[in-house]
Amino acid sequence: MNPWVVLKLLRPHQWLKNLLLFFPPFLGGSLFLPGVWQKGLAPFIAFCLASSATYVFNDLRDCESDRVHPRKQHRPLASGAVSPTLAVGLAVGMLAVSLLLGSTISLLFVGWLLAYLGLSFAYSFALKDQPVFDIFCIASGFVFRVFAGGAAFDVKVSDWLFLTVLLLAIFLSCGKRLSEKQLLGEASADHRKVLKGYPPGTLEGFMYISGAAVLVTYTLYVITNHRLVYTVPLCCFGLFRYLLIVKRGESGDPTDSLLKDPVMFLVGAAWTVMVGVSLYL
């Protein structure tokens, strides 16, 4: 078995989402204090293993529909490069290690990890076919990572951070669904049944509403720290850029957009640097 094919099955590029675990201490100004960031290594690994396991189970369920998708048909399970038996064994092993590692951190962290896993399995086996429910399931996964990070670092997640992450995740989730609907056209329902439940213009409307809400909420969040207020134009630019990417028919996957679009990558890097300089220098 080609190890690169197995690694592809785990979707390591999606581990980027698990950096949300570091948001509470980063935005709280404590991440780079002596010994703090090291506390996030075990939680990060635990969530990477858990998220990869959920991706494997999701691919197992979607194997047939992925074969009619122009891009997803090349995934290891859909293409037959990895057997279902191997995939199940690998996913169960990763879940076990993830929970074992999580138990060494704190009970509260394990609770958020279990909540993430429960939601992910509910999404994969039922809710992904229900309009609106599917969007909120994806968005909640981002929020659970933030609260798990707060538990791991013993940092309280503010109400404003919770609202900003939730609304931004909803915005990105709507963009992902819209890009799939545009890419697949009339065959979209054959690949993802839930797309049939979104009438024309609905997902665009959801994006406009949630995007505007993100901008307002983030502004109210940073206005309590005047050093961060200059990141608001950058946030606005990033929202507009992502909307442009989706409407142009490119991939709406947030990770793909960040890694493959040079402008989005620079916006993300610039935001990180600006926040870091404002909080730590």
Question: Per residue in 235-267, pLDDT tens?
Answer: 999 999 999 999 988 877 888 888 889 999 999
Check pLDDT > 90 for residue 133.
Answer: yes
| Cα(21)–Cα(39) distance, integer angstroms | 11
Q: What is the pLDDT of residue 257?
A: 86
Q: How many CB atoms lie within 10 A of CB 170?
A: 25
Residue 243: helix, strand or coil by DSSP? helix
Using CB atoms within 10 Å of the CB of residue 37, give its burial: 0 to 12 exposed, 13 to 18 middle, 19+ buried: middle
Q: DSSP state, 251? A: -
Residue-wise pLDDT tens digits, 210-240: 999 999 999 998 887 778 899 999 999 999 9
Q: What is the pLDDT of residue 164?
A: 94
Confidence category of residue 188, pLDDT binned at 50, 70, 90: low
Question: Which position has the token pair 């599917």?
Answer: 134
Report whether 180 contacts 188 (CB < 8 A). yes
Report whether 24 contacts 161 (CB < 8 A). yes
The chain-wide mean pLDDT, for the chain, equals 90
- Give the CB-side neighbour count of residue 254, counting CA atoms within 13 A: 18
Residue-wise pLDDT tens digits, 15-29: 999 999 999 999 988
Q: What is the pLDDT of residue 258?
A: 86
Report whether 136 contacts 127 (CB < 8 A). no
Residue-wise pLDDT tens digits, 135-187: 999 999 999 999 999 999 999 998 999 999 999 999 999 999 998 888 877 66
Q: What is the mean pLDDT of residues 113-121?
A: 95
Q: What is the pLDDT of residue 251?
A: 79
pTM for the model stands at 0.91
Confidence category of residue 1, pLDDT binned at 50, 70, 90: low
Residue-wise pLDDT tens digits, 55-102: 998 888 877 777 766 677 777 777 777 888 888 999 999 999 999 999
Q: What is the mean pLDDT of residues 196-206?
A: 92
